[in-house]
């Protein structure tokens, strides 16, 4: 069994970030991991059903917005026998606390997992100051 | 239900609506922790069933599917991301670990004909009904 301390099932967005959608679609909050490294921040989000073409990422001021559109595939002429999860798009927004080098943001999707690399802007990279021993 | 009834009413058969309706009838608790991970949707049409499950980031090579009689068992895992010295988690919500789930079908499965494909982090398995079990058509002879 997978780690039970985590919320493993899809969570529907209670109030969509940017108002309601015109299309009647469910929107889910993807589970994310955010890792800070020395020179960058990595955002990883589980968005099964999306690929590099269906994910939209915007950075406006310091709000990082992620939207993943899911093409729902319903097998033709089949009827639903067991339904344990819902289908819909993904949306989530984050406020970035640190200054990010906008030109160098990279994003990729593999097996339904979105990975965004946000390089820190030069100014905020922690500089290591060498301490010299006094002569 | 007769297909002609539907046509008479001028309504097209909409699987999406059907899905939404069924999903909404689920009690809140059922859509949460009571469901064993990973959550599955099962679709049936006559002698075939289709199972879909969302397994983002799982290596398709590591997914193990086994079929016995009416039941199908899925096994797999996803490793946590290892951190090196100066890295730290700000948020950690994604699942990791191993999972096992057995799903019971309403018919015996033809194990040799089970097909599975993994696209965009979604696993699709098609399960045909066992040949021996399929209803036989009997023709009525007249004298």
Distance from CA of B49 to the nearest CA of A (A): 8
pLDDT digits (tens, 9 = 90+) for A101-119: 988 999 999 999 999 999 9
What residue of B is the nearest CA neighbor of A33? Answer: B92
Q: A113 and B56 in contact by Cβ < 8 A? A: yes
Distance, C-alpha A20 to centroid of its chain: 20
Whether residues A79 and B100 touch (CB distance < 8 A) is answered with no
How would you label B67-96 residue by residue, b for 16+ Cβ within 10 Å and e otherwise? beeeebebebebeeeeeeeeeeeeeebbbe
**pLDDT tens per residue, range B105-128:** 999 999 999 999 999 999 999 999
Q: In chain B, what are the domain boundaries?
A: 38-79+96-132
Domain A11-122 -> CATH class: mainly beta
Minimum CA–CA partner of B75 in chain A: A1
Q: CATH class for domain B38-79+96-132?
A: mainly beta
Question: By mean pLDDT, which of A5-9, A53-57, A105-109, B32-36 is the weakest?
Answer: A5-9
- Strands of the sheet containing B115-119, edge to edge, are A79-83, B40-45, B48-54, B122-128, B115-119
SS3 A43: strand
- Is residue B122 within 8 Å of residue A112, measured between CB atoms? yes
CA A27 to chain centre: 13
Sort out which chain B residues have CB atoms less than 8 A from A76's CB and list them.
Answer: 15, 45
DSSP A15: S
Q: What is the DSSP letter of B109?
A: B
Q: Do A35 and B83 touch (CB under 8 A)?
A: yes
Angle at CA of residue A29, ends A34 and B36, nearest 5°: 100
DSSP readout, B24-61? HHS-GGGGTTTSPSSPEEEEEETTEEEEEEE-TT--GG
pLDDT reported for residue B120: 95
What residue in A sits closest to B3 (Cα-Cα)? A77
21-60 of A, contacting B, C-beta below 8 A: 31-38, 41, 44-51
Sequence ranges of the domains in chain A: 11-122
pTM of the model: 0.78
Residues 103-132 of A with CB under 8 A from B: 109-113
Q: For the residues B86-115, what does the mean pLDDT come to? A: 92
Predicted confidence (pLDDT) per residue in A15-61, tens digit:
655 566 666 778 999 999 999 998 899 999 999 999 999 999 999 88
Identify the burial level of B61 via C-beta atoms within 10 angstroms of its C-beta, where 0-12 means exposed, 13-18 middle and 19 or more buried.
Answer: exposed
Asked whether residue A83 carries a pLDDT value surpassing 60, the answer given is yes
Q: Nearest to residue B130, comparing CAs of B67, B39, B42, B87?
A: B67
The pLDDT-based confidence of B66 (bands split at 50, 70, 90) is: very high
In sequence order, the 6+-apart residues with CB closer than 8 A to the CB of A79 are: B15, B18, B43, B44, B45
Per-residue model confidence (pLDDT) at position B19:
73
pLDDT, position A134: 82
Question: CA triplet B136, B142, B143: central angle to 5 degrees?
Answer: 135
Judge: B56–A72 Cβ closer than 8 Å, yes or no: no
Beta strands in chain B (DSSP E): 40-45, 48-54, 64-68, 71-78, 88-92, 97-104, 115-119, 122-128
Return the higher-pLDDT residue of B28 and B74: B74
């Amino acid at each position: 069994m997978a780690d039970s301390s985590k919320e493993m099932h899809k969570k529907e967005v209670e109030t969509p970030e940017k108002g309601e959608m015109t299309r009647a679609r469910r929107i889910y909050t993807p589970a994310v991991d955010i890792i800070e490294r020395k020179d960058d921040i990595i955002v990883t989000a589980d968005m099964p059903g999306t690929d590099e073409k269906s994910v939209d990422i915007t950075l406006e001021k310091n709000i990082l917005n992620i939207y993943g559109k899911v093409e729902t595939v319903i097998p033709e002429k089949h009827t639903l026998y067991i339904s344990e999860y819902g289908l819909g798009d993904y949306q989530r927004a984050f406020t970035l606390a640190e200054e990010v080098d906008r030109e160098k943001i990279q994003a990729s999707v593999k097996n339904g997992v979105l990975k965004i690399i946000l390089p820190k802007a030069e100014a905020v990279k922690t500089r290591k100051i060498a301490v010299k021993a006094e002569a | 239900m007769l297909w002609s009834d539907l046509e008479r009413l001028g309504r097209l058969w909409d699987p999406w609506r059907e899905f939404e309706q069924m999903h909404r009838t689920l009690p809140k608790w059922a859509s949460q922790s009571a469901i064993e991970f990973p959550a599955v949707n099962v679709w049936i049409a006559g002698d075939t069933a289709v199972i879909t499950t969302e397994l983002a980031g799982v290596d398709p090579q590591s997914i193990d599917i086994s079929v016995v009689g009416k039941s199908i068992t899925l096994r797999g895992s996803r490793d946590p991301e290892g951190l090196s010295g100066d890295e730290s988690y700000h948020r950690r919500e994604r699942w990791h670990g191993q999972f096992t789930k057995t799903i019971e079908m309403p018919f015996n499965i033809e194990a040799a004909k089970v097909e599975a494909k993994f696209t965009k982090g979604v696993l699709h398995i098609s399960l045909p009904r066992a040949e021996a079990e399929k209803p036989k058509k009997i023709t009525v002879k007249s004298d």
